[in-house]
Structure 1
Amino acid sequence: MTDPRAQAVLDFWFSAEAEPRWFGPPVPAFDQEVTARFRATYVDVKVQRLSAWTSDPAECLALVLVLDQFPRHMFRGTAEAFETDAMALDAAREALERGHDQTFEMRKRWFFYVPFEHSETLEDQDISVALFRTLNHPSPSVMEAAERHRSTIGRFGRFPYRNAALGRVSTPEEERYLKEEPWP
């Protein structure tokens, strides 16, 4: 039986109301709702009180969402938005090792792959592109996004759009890139 907190995460994230907010422009009211509903769960996950969630496919999917997607809404524009990326990537790796991703339909499966896309290492970006290719998603934008992330890491070794939030100094080339290709 799925932990009720994990089920609440999945019910919310895969609802008709939330789905249009996944990758679109920021919606402050949605960010506030994620924070109000799931900040306590995020804190529990962050301090690894819910590490048992990796053994169950549904709970593991919820874990990845809480570590990877929710901080981007709760802490948008700050370093904290990326603070649990490594934990999300570890959970995603474990999910793939256990075959959890294969138990879900496409729109849920790809959230096991997004932490690789969010990684600032080229090796993880290569894994991301390969994983997204296996989805055979009908929208070319899904594959284009994976390839764009990989290209950015290949070019800069990091995501320049994170520089301000992370207190990193942008190179002149990164500054030009950010002006020419606003992200995301």
Structure 2
Amino acid sequence: MGGGPYFPHEQELGHLLTPELFSCLVQARMPYPKHGSINFSHFGRDIFLEDPVGTQVRDKVLPALVALSKIGLEHMPDLMAAYLPPPTDDSFPEQCLGLLLLLDHFPRLLLRGMDARWTYGYFDVISQHVARIWISLPADQRPDSWERWQAGVGLDYWIGVRFWFGTPFVHSEQLQAIAVKFTDETRRRVEQVTGKKDPYREKRDDVLSDIYGFPREYRKGPPQGDDVTRESWTFWMGMLMDIHKPIIDSFGRYPYLNAVLGRQSSDEEKAYVEKTGHFGEVGPDVAKRILEDIKNGRWTRLGDEQA
């Protein structure tokens, strides 16, 4: 499971996993006014089409990820209890979001080659464990809720917050039921506040049955242009998140992650990945080296290829 026999001293993690880091990551990914309008065309562009953030936070994120990689999943502490304020604290929602960004988003943004295994086989396990904990909190303590954020931010900002809180569930191969429910909560809140109805409701059966929808829509990219509104972006994003589910319903997992996780693909999964043009797969050379590591019970150290 984990990454070696050396366990960082608690003081080392305490030095790295700080409130300042978590606030910095939220600000980096949500550099928008907390009240007022957000340009959602730019919001989508900066997530899916460009990377204005990676170089900005790389020197802060990588040391924290490397330190976490040395602990091993079987010895991972309760990160929420150890490094976040109590759920009742006013700073908890933002701090929890910063921790999730560190674990779920930034590995995807920064880790390539052999390091990609750490994203999907290690940090995803941790981020999804953290997500299970916070979503199980009492309603008045949940860090994603409109009620906890609305006193300090407007609807536009909260839509961005909800997007980032939802990604660990969407990325999970086990939590799709939670992901779909979570996305629908966002959709319903935006419909309620704005009076606009999600047009994808009329295509619901297609969205939840199209196994090729996610690769196709991801490659098309987010809506761009002056006519993108918070409502149209939210409804598009809800569709993009929902179309992960038919892949899991069909295969029980994401076939394009088999290579990076050293899993054997069925004939049906091979045909799927081939038809999508090997969407989301690591290259064959990396896949071969990962499989060798798994067979030998080892992990190539995080960052060795980026040094």
Normalised by the shorter chain, which TM-score bucket? Answer: 0.7 to 0.9
**Structure 2-normalised TM-score?**
0.51
Distance 2:245 2:85 in 1: 27
Corresponding position of 1:99: 142
1:71 aligns with 2:110: no
Q: Distance in 2 between matches of 1:114 and 1:33?
A: 21
Relative to 1, partners in 2 of residues 1:109 and 1:33: Cα closer, same or farther, differing over 3 Å?
same
Equivalent AA in structure 2 for residue 14 of structure 1: M
Whether the 8 Å contact between 1:45 and 1:66 is mirrored in structure 2 is: no
Partner of 2:58: 35
Letter of the 1:95 counterpart: W
CA distance in 1, matches of 2:243, 2:85: 29
Segments of structure 1 that go 5 or more residues without pairing to the other structure are none
User: In percent, how many aligned pairs have the same letter?
Assistant: 26
Asked whether 1:15 is paired with 2:31, we answer yes
Equivalent pairs, count:
179
Separation in 1 of the partners of 2:263 and 2:49?
24
Of residues 41-50 and 51-60 in structure 1, the stretch that sits farther from structure 2 once superposed is: 41-50
**RMSD after superposition:** 2.8
Using CA pairs below 8 Å that are at least 6 residues apart, which structure has the higher relative contact order? 2
Shift of 1:92: 1.9
CA distance in 1: counterparts of 2:111 and 2:127, whole angstroms: 16
Q: How far is 1:6 from its partner?
A: 1.2
Residues 57 and 100, structure 1, Cα contact 8 Å, conserved in 2? yes
2:220 match: none
Gaps of 5+ in 2: 1-17, 33-41, 72-76, 87-91, 150-157, 191-230, 281-307
Kept in 1: contact 2:183–2:242 (CA 8 A): no
> 1:81: Cα distance to partner?
1.4
TM-score of the aligned structures, taking structure 1 as reference length: 0.81
Deviations 1:64-113 (A, max 9, x none): 11011111122235211111112212222333213110134111122222
The aligned counterpart of 1:5 is 21
Corresponding letter in the other structure for 1:38 = V
Instruction: Decide which of 140, 163, 168 is 1:115's aligned counterpart.
Output: 168
2:95 to 50, 59, 64: 59
By percentage of residues, which structure has more helix? 1
Does residue 106 of structure 2 align to residue 81 of structure 1? no
Residue type at the aligned position of 1:130: K
